Each structure stands twice: as C-alpha cells, then as structure tokens.
Amino acid sequence: MEGIWNLNTLWFTLIAVLWIGYFFLEGFDFGVGILLPFIGKDDVDRRVVINSIGPVWDGNEVWLLVAGGATFAAFPEWYATLFSGFYLPLFLILIALIIRGVAFEYRSKDTRPTWRSRWDWAIFVGSFLPALLWGVGFANIVRGVPIDAAHEYAGGFWNLLNPYALIGGLASLSLFTLHGALFLSLKTHGDVEDRARGVARNLGWISLVFMITFLVWTYVGHASGEIVPGVVPIAVLALIGTVPWLVGKKFVGWAFVFTGATIALTVVNMFTALYPNVMPSSLSEAYSLTVFNASASHMTLKVMTIVAIIFTPIVLLYQGWTYWVFRKRIGRDDLAAQSH
C-alpha cells in the first residue's frame, strides 16, 4: 500500500509539473497573441510580434497534450469527471487553440490588409479565451464542484461561472499577458520592444491586484487539502509585486524570470491546496475524487514512471535546443525587406 501511495502522489506531483511547463511556455504565447493587435502598429510590427513565437508556439502545446495524457493514464476517474463536467469550457479552449493555429498558418497566405487583420484578431481571440478559461477551470477545481456519489458531475455550465472562478480567470489572463509582454521585450528590439516594455510596466500592477485577490480568496475560503504552505502565496505576491519595479529599471530578464516563477508557484499553490483531492465535491466530502480513489492500477503507474524517466529528458533537451537555435532578437529591420 505504501508503494501505491508513493506512486499516486508522485504522479499527482508530475502532473502539476507538466501544467507548470505548459503555463510557463504557452503562457507567454497567449500573452503575445493577446497583445498582437495592440503592440503591432502596422503589418511589419505585427510580423515581428508573430515571428517572436513562430518557431516555438506549437512545440509549447505539447505540454498540454502530455498533461492530458498523463491525467488520463494515471487518474482515469479524474479525467472522466473533469472532461464530462467541464466539457463546454474545454471544448471552447480546443476551438480557440485550433483557430489560433490556423490563423498563424493562414495569415501570410494573402497580402491584403483586411485578410491579415482578420487573422490577427483570430490570433487574439484564440489566445484570449484559453488564457481566461484555464484560470476559470482550475479555480473551479480548487473551489469544488457538484460531484455525486457515482463520481459524476451533477452541475451545469453556469455553476462554473461563479465569482471566485472568474477572479481566477482574470488572474491567469493578466498574468499570461504580462508574461507575454516581457517575452516580447526580450525577443524583439526597436519600437516593438519599447511598447512591450511599457505595457508590461502597467500590466504588472493590474496582475498584482488580481493575484492578491485570488490567492487570499483561495486560502480563506477554498484551501481544503492537507498541505497548505502559507509561504507559497507570500512568495508569489513578492515576485509579482517586484515586476513593475524591475521593468522600470530595465531588468526585463529578471522580470520575466519572476513572472515565470509566479506562474509556477501559483500552480504549486493550487495543487497543494487540493491534495489529497484531485477534484473536491461541493455536495459531500465523501464524494470527492482523491489521488487514491481516482487512480489507475499500481502496475500502470509503475510503467508510466519508467517511460517518463526515459523520455522526459529527451523532450527537455530537444525543446531547450529549439529555444537556443531561435534565441536571436528580431525587429523591423529583419523583416521589412522580406516579401510575403
């Protein structure tokens, strides 16, 4: 039983790590997409913005696929209840990601301004909705949803649009947009860099307000787990609260590190507030899904662990190499002479 307990907790932790990787990497992708129509003053600027994430955005989405696959394999009950209860928001996220991917590919197929403008706004919508809805979804998981004795979701779509979840969505939206603005400041030069840095300085304060509200609300009203380290939200607020000052001093690299750390610790905060639950029930604590009653067999978890040990370093090395190859800053002078 002890071995099963260790593997269950291990995979709960690994799934949290996968979500950290996804939100850290795809978070700045979403932020760049959200800022595209506003920071890009003309077509050349917008091409600079898009090209800043062009080589990496699709690779970043692999983390989502792995997180979903790991949840399905390690905790099938969690996966089934989550995807049945959150079907509509997850469907909206999927449609948004598809629209976003198509927009990246189709934008350059025609040079007409109206054509490109429409796809630019498609990128905005395809980035805005997931950035908002992921926060709404995870906030609902922490808050608890109506799960009955059969471990089935017993609520409706409107149950998910409660004030706490909406604050969680605004927190994730503002944090990802800030993360994207800082990435643009690091990846571009010239006017785009200057505008992105100015946006980041203002967004830092907005994100701080939403993060304070969300974290305080989480610990006061919805921290139902056994592990609730108070140092985590304090560290999160210290990190995000420092970002506007760092941007003002032009320490943009450190500011990006701090927003990345804020994203990571926020995920840690939510998972530790949950444990040992994976989906608390608002109807009865006895109906909650936990790392024990929602997990796969011991053999399944053991095989998954071996596979993860073998392939995770390979994926990390490949993705790290990709970022190293495309590390160069870009600007108008790099694209103005190119024809599309």
Question: From CA 147, how far away is CA 289, in angstroms rounded?
Answer: 9
Question: From CA 75, how far away is CA 265, in angstroms rounded?
Answer: 23
The confidence score (pLDDT) of residue 2 equals 44
CA distances from 318 to 26, 264, 314 (A): 17, 21, 6
The confidence score (pLDDT) of residue 48 equals 92
* Helix, coil or strand: residue 277: strand
* Helix, coil or strand: residue 110: coil
The confidence score (pLDDT) of residue 1 equals 40
273 close to 223: Cβ distance less than 8 angstroms = yes
* Helix, coil or strand: residue 276: coil
The confidence score (pLDDT) of residue 336 equals 60
CA 277 remoteness from chain centre: 21
Which sequence spans correspond to the domains of the chain?
2-331
List, as one string, the DSSP characters of 120-148: HHHHHHHHHHHHHHHHHHHHHHHH-B-B-
The confidence score (pLDDT) of residue 255 equals 96
Angle formed by the axes of helices 62-74 and 2-39, nearest 10°: 150
Q: What pTM, to 2 d.p., does this model score? A: 0.92
Please give the average pLDDT of every successive group of 10 residues along the chain, which has 340 residues: 67 95 95 94 91 90 92 94 91 95 91 92 96 94 90 84 93 96 94 93 93 86 57 82 92 95 92 89 90 91 92 90 90 66
Measured from the Cβ of residue 156, the count of other Cβ atoms closer than 10 Å reads 11
